[in-house]
Amino acid sequence: MSTTSHGHGHDEPGADPESIAVGHELKDANPGPLILSAVGIGVLIVVSFIVMGIMLASTGNPLTATGNDVPTSPAMMVQLPPAPRLEQNPVVDGSLIVEQATKRIESYGWDDQQAGKAHIPIERAMELVLERGVGGQ
């Protein structure tokens, strides 16, 4: 008869004959290690809270501090990012941009008068391109 281990955690050959006769395992899991693990985790949680309390007490901030009574320091002050910042009101800002662009493409005006650069309405520019061609004078 072979005495090979079957990975059951013991050196007995095969399954327990009583378990085979009944058709299921008769022995439950060993509760000792499970209880010991649960107690260990509970102790670890309690010790963690105690250590956090000691650390908070050493900084001078009480555990009962709320958002209104926490002292503000320069490091905790809100700093604005450098310009340009995000739009405060995108609808109004977007409308203003569209309005300025529409006004520019629908009117005559100087871009640089000394250099002789001007802008003309887009409709007139398209007519000129049709009359003269793209590189026309």
pLDDT at site 2? 47
Answer whether residue 12 is part of any domain. Answer: no
Residues 95 and 136 in one domain: yes
pLDDT at site 70? 54
Output the pTM of the full model: 0.32
Q: Which domain holds residue 99?
A: 89-137
Q: What is the DSSP string of 72-121?
A: P-GGGS--PPPSSPPPS-HHHHHHHHHHHHHHHHTS-EEEETTTTEEE--
φ/ψ (deg, to 5) at 111: -90, -50
pLDDT at site 58? 86
Answer whether residue 130 is part of any domain. Answer: yes
Answer whether residue 121 is part of any domain. Answer: yes
pLDDT at site 1? 46
State which residues of the chain have pLDDT below 50. Answer: 1-7
Answer whether residue 5 is part of any domain. Answer: no
Residues 94 and 137 in one domain: yes
Domain total in the chain: 2
pLDDT at site 67? 54
Question: What is the dihedral angle through the alpha carbons of 16, 17, 19, 22, rounded to the nearest 10 degrees?
Answer: 180
Q: How far is CA 18 from CA 2, 15, 22, 89, 116, in A?
A: 19, 9, 6, 79, 107
